[in-house]
Chains A and B, each alone.
Chain A
Amino acid sequence: NAGVMQNPRHLVRRRGQEARLRCSPMKGHSHVYWYRQLPEEGLKFMVYLQKENIIDESGMPKERFSAEFPKEGPSILRIQQVVRGDSAAYFCASSHPYNEQFFGPGTRLTVL
């Protein structure tokens, strides 16, 4: 019974490049959430998606960040033109509706 999967686990990008982070939810889960964790800080909500729908993107920066959860395949968090301040751990979580959220292992993004 695989848990939430994320890849890559580590990603290094130079300033100005694009970063694509992938998340496969637990089997049977239809809700995906993305959170960002800066070093030595807590987790901050970014976006909440269901299949083919963005439900809540109130935590997403207005520019350069986008997310999708297509009908087939993993959820993707995309960061365009990365800057040093984007360096963080990005966690996704999945759940049944209104139930416990289970987290993936995270993608640690480093921007050089």
Chain B
Amino acid sequence: GENVEQHPSTLSVQEGDSAVIKCTYSDSASNYFPWYKQELGKRPQLIIDIRSNVGEKKDQRIAVTLNKTAKHFSLHITETQPEDSAVYFCAATGTASKLTFGTGTRLQVTL
């Protein structure tokens, strides 16, 4: 089955700096890669996703890149703000529809 690895497990950046979180996946049949943000005690919220026919997607301060050959994808957050502090999860899925999640990255944005 699919296996998703995520790094780093914790990330601390200063407000205004950029943050990058990286994930690798094992199943070459995977074709959909969402990113979720989870605040403490809350539900995971979809923040951006990318499909395998696209190499990059951007939504304001958030962007995701996908390298199908290397089987890795990354989340980029620019101009970080304190409200970006949360745990971020990457995930992958193919035709099976079930999401396989990474282990999460705890992002802390300091003033």
Contact = CB atoms under 8 A, between A and B. Distances in A.
A103 B98 contact: no
Contacts, number: 53
B99 A101 contact: yes
Contacts of B1: 58
Given A100-B34, A100-B49, A101-B34, A43 B44 contact: yes
Contacts of B36: 103
B32 to A, nearest CB: 8
Q: Is the interface of B mostly helix, strand, loop or mixed?
A: loop
Interface in B35-82: 36, 42-46, 49
27 contacts: A33-B97, A41-B103, A42-B89, A42-B101, A42-B102, A43-B99, A44-B101, A48-B98, A56-B97, A56-B98, A58-B1, A59-B98, A91-B43, A91-B44, A93-B99, A95-B97, A98-B95, A100-B34, A100-B46, A100-B49, A101-B34, A101-B46, A101-B99, A103-B45, A105-B42, A105-B43, A106-B43
Interface of A: 31, 33, 35, 41-45, 48, 55-56, 58-59, 91, 93, 95, 97-98, 100-106
